[in-house]
Structure 1
Amino acid sequence: MIGIKHHGAVSGVTGSCHELLLSENGILVDCGLFQGAEKESHNAADSCIIDFPIDHIRALIVTHVHIDHVGRIPYLLAAGFDGPIICSEPSAIMLPEILEDALRIGFTRDRGLINRVLDKIRSQLVPLAYGQWHEVLSDESEALNVRLQRAGHILGSAYVECDAQTVEGHERIVFSGDLGAPHSPLLPAPESPEKADRLIIESTYGDKNHEDRKTRRYRLKSVLEHALEDGGTVLIPAFSIGRTQELLYEIEGLIAEFGDEAIEQTGDSPSPNALNWKDLEIIVDSPLAAEFTRIYRDLKPYWDNEALALVKAGRHPLSFEQLTVIGSHEDHLNAVDYLARLHRPCVVIAGSGMCAGGRVVNYLKAMLGDRRNDVLFVGYQAAGTPGRDILTYGSQGGWVELDGERYDIRARIHSVGGYSAHAGQGDLLTFVDGIPRSPKEIRIVHGDAGAKEALKVELQALVPESKVLIPAG
């Protein structure tokens, strides 16, 4: 029987790495970093090590370029992998960019070494158009073809269809990667595969559903209004790829719709000092986010019809008048100091999304203790990360540890789950239900224990003829 092994994203939501093993050859689907508590559960020195055989691995398939899906690729190369790195066309553009940042922060500052690693990665990249079969291997005893389909998670994201043939028979095995929520800005929603004998599916939000887009957009508007009434800063920790661009898209839409309306209201009429929506300053403080926002703009053909219609009408969803991008570290420190001292209403989007590093940490240190400010979470916060602690203890007047020091949380804390990049429980069930013939086996990965168990119960009820299992960590 064709085998499936899991080298990450089994006991939690990070470190995605799965192996499809034919009789003699195999492929990997993703090779990501462990983060948060999952990183701590490994020895620090071992969390990046490739601790499984790779001599038989003929290709690496990348579902998308988030670091928990690609961050171990340099270590895979160091372990001797020299095969093709297969991914979508947009991902082929973005992968070297995200790995350059990861190498610089966690691997080496040696520019020459970084360039050599990136050149090697580029030489191994095999960009695929969506919906196009690609032959990975073929000999007398076994054959494997793969095809990528849109996953709607971030630009370039894909789920992977594997058409495998051995002397024992033929199977279609599907790896979901990370699936996006339907009706997300910018990207088309994923469609179910035409066939899946076995399905490996993520479960990040396997135990809950997201707000619909209209509701979450209203909540985003309300949070911004509430926060900006008293001259505070709204700090949004967001990953550089996906969430930052979707937030800019939605905020530009709010400004376009409510531009001349006052944010602050006093009774039935606007205050004379009220800030209009069109006067609201939006700061993206992340060189990486700025670069990926540029790439998103360059890859408009991969946007959905709604976004393309706005462009045709003369709108600029990712490049508008109120947007300021901060590049240099000096400008970043000046912005933190300026916003902490002055009562200037502002929205700051900065990485990282789970507050485990990046420029957002300096903003949190300066602003968490001030009740005028707000922190708005729009994505999943993994256990063991500062983001999870702020979200958990912020409403209780608690504290969070940042760079070894405790900071009291007096800022208001909000969460708008509808902007998560991940499908909710109902979306995952719809994806499975849309497969014309139910899979013989469904493996649930990439989720906390409770989320996986909840999704398992729902899947067993939805497709009782399928064997639903949760692989052991």
Structure 2
Amino acid sequence: MRILHHGAVNGVTGSCHELKISEKFGVLIDCGLFQGAETSGSGASESHLEIDFPIDHIKALIVTHVHIDHVGRIPYLLAAGFKGPIICSEPSAVLLPLVLEDAIKVGFTRNRQLINRFLKALQQQIQTVPYGEWYPVSGDLDVKLKPAGHILGSAYVECKVKSVPVTKRVIFSGDLGAPYSPLLAAPKAPYGCDVLVIESTYGDKEHASRINRKQKLQNVIEKAVEDNGLVLIPAFSIGRTQELIYELESIIHKRRNKSLTNALAWDDIEIVIDSPLASKFTEVYRTLESYWDKEARKRVQSGRHPLSFDQLTTIDDHQSHLDTVEYLKKTARPTIVIAASGMCAGGRIVNYLKALLDDQRTDILFVGYQAKGTPGYEIQRYGPRGGYVMIEGARYQVKASVHTISGYSAHADQKNLIDFVKRMKNKPTEIRIIHGDDGAKSALKQKYRGLLGSKTDIQIPTQ
């Protein structure tokens, strides 16, 4: 048995890991897109996405969740000839075709016939597995999906490998969520395993509490409204956007009928979701209410609509988007705009940034990880110093205020990642730390060493 990594070892994107049980049998866990400056060991990046490893022996793909950095290379995997099952949770099975249809339009073709042909093949390969049930991939391998609390449908993967002299348990964490994230129940640690492959996105940081981050979100809104400014929130279309809508509804609900300024009540501030994909995902999230956590379902039962309320406006067509950008640039009307992409590397957020970065009344709020090489990383790092960012070949001075609330990252922080292992009854004898910057991986390794001592082999793979 071997574990090979085809991504997410030189950063936090391109997740793709192989559990190789024999020369003739292996499975992939995720097959994601590289973003920003990150590449695979052999140079795969946004401009070089072909599958650059053997797949003849790959009998199944297991998807932890549908973020593009975990599923974006699936079209290339199918194009390379993969015809095995794509195993995922029931919510992920609903969301995956939507994510990949959009990815194909951006990276492959807008030919409807070709897109439909791909989606038909994809649907035939998707195999849904309920949380907590063992699924036999072969006589040598069973897998089980457990809720990861990252986005709707996210899972960590337990693998029971039966072909070795002694049955081994291998766990792939996918992206673990932070406790008390909106809409989602916190992930529960497994009983134990022999080998753990774990993410480390925030392996060197701890998030603010949910109360603190909600207060900070409210503070940013109040500051922007005071100077008639706009709050721009770059957010991934799936997961982050829905969580922010949920939190904003909560803030407005608690302050209904109260003044935000002399001229504006909390009930009247407009929230714009400017992303067709985010709008579509939000609709799907509403249909998957049975997978929400208890708090969210209780709100619905009380008559509230946490993902659909009066202040919420969605923008679908491109012309309306351009008109909205121009209108808000001219009027500086206090508005909260949530637009993709989360790292400002494309999508509609780019037009807002080009129009409003040099306006001191604008507030940019980052709520997710910004990978090196993306405009979001440059704005987050240099904006507070009065620096600039290059967007689509042009230089833009950052005069807007820049804020970061890491607690909305939907990723577990250092304490959560440590607790995931600490709460196991049977501690792993091997840990592989992936999906993080060098500093985050090193810091987490040191913490695990302090927790587990020398009995556990703790590795940071480089390829």
TM-score by length of 1: 0.96
The farther-off stretch of 108-117 and 289-298 is: 108-117
- Residue number in structure 2 paired with 1:213: 210
Please state whether the residue corresponding to 1:349 is helix, strand or coil.
strand
Partner of 1:82: 83
Instruction: Find out whether 1:126 has 2:127 as its counterpart.
Output: yes
1: CA distance, partners of 2:326 / 2:28: 45
Q: What is the CA distance between 1:343 and its match in structure 2?
A: 2.7
Q: Name the residue aligned to 1:16.
A: 15
TM-superposed deviation, 1:18:
0.2
> Corresponding residue for 2:35?
35
Give, as a single letter, the amino acid of the residue that structure 2 aligns with 1:421. Answer: A
Q: 1:250 aligns with which of 235, 247, 251?
A: 247
Residue 256 of structure 1: how far off its partner (Å): 0.3
Q: Is the 8 A contact 1:33 1:47 kept in 2?
A: no
- Residue 73 of structure 1 is matched in structure 2 by 74
Asked whether the 8 Å contact 1:368–1:410 carries over to 2, the reply is: yes
Listed as ranges, the gaps of 5+ residues in structure 2 are none
> Structure 1 residues 44 and 151, CA, compared in 2 at 3 Å: closer, same or farther?
closer
Which of 256, 264, 267 is equivalent to 1:278? 267
Give 1:267's aligned residue: none
8 Å contact kept, 2:13–2:435: yes
Q: CA deviation at 1:315?
A: 0.4
Among candidates 441, 457, 461, match of residue 467 of structure 1: 457
Contact persistence 2:269–2:335 (CA under 8 A): yes
Q: Which residue of 2 aligns with 1:362?
A: 351
Q: Distance in 1 between matches of 2:385 and 2:215?
A: 25
* Structure 1 CA distance for aligned equivalents of residues 412 and 462 of structure 2: 23
**Per-residue CA shift, 1:388-425, capped at 9, x if unaligned?**
00000001111111111001100000001110110000
2:385 paired residue number: 396
Structure 1 partner of 2:235: 238
Give the match for residue 137 of structure 1: 138
The percent identity for this pair of structures is: 58
Task: State the distance in 1 between where 2:339 and 2:9 align.
Answer: 29
The aligned runs of 1:100-119 (5 Å cut-off) are: 100-119=101-120
CA shift for structure 1 position 46: 6.3
Q: Which SS does the other structure have where 1:160 is aligned? A: strand
5+ residue gaps, structure 1:
265-270
Q: How many residues align?
A: 460
- The offset of 1:39, in angstroms, is 4.3
- More displaced stretch, 315-324 vs 48-57: 48-57
Match in the other structure for 2:417: 428
Structure 1 contact 39–47 (Cα < 8 Å) conserved: no
Question: Which amino acid in 1 is paired with 2:52?
Answer: D
Counterparts in 2 of 1:147 and 1:316: CA distance versus 1, 3 Å? same
Q: Secondary structure at the match of 1:443?
A: strand
Question: RMSD of aligned C-alpha atoms?
Answer: 1.1
Pairwise CA distance, 1:103:
0.2
The letter of the residue matching 1:229 is E
Cα deviation, residue 47, structure 1: 2.9
Deviations 1:233-272 (A, max 9, x none): 10000000111000000000010001222223xxxxxx3x
User: Contact 2:13–2:70 at 8 Å: present in 1 too?
Assistant: yes
Distance in 1 separating the partners of 2:301 and 2:165: 53
Cα displacement (A) at 1:40: 9.7
* Whole-angstrom distance in 1 between the partners of 2:53 and 2:313: 45
Equivalent position amino acid for 1:397 in 2 = G
Q: Secondary structure at the match of 1:37?
A: coil
Equivalent in the alignment of 1:7: 6
Are 2:308 and 1:319 equivalent residues in the alignment? yes
Q: Normalised by the size of structure 2, how large is the TM-score? A: 0.98
2:408 maps to which of 396, 412, 419: 419
Aligned to 1:91: 92
Q: What corresponds to 1:194 in structure 2?
A: 191
Match of 1:50 in 2: 51
1:39 and 1:93 map into 2 onto residues whose CA distance is 29
Residue 90 and residue 47 in structure 1: after superposition, are their counterparts in 2 closer, same or farther (change >3 A)?
same
1:320-359 alignment to 2 at 5 Å? 320-359=309-348
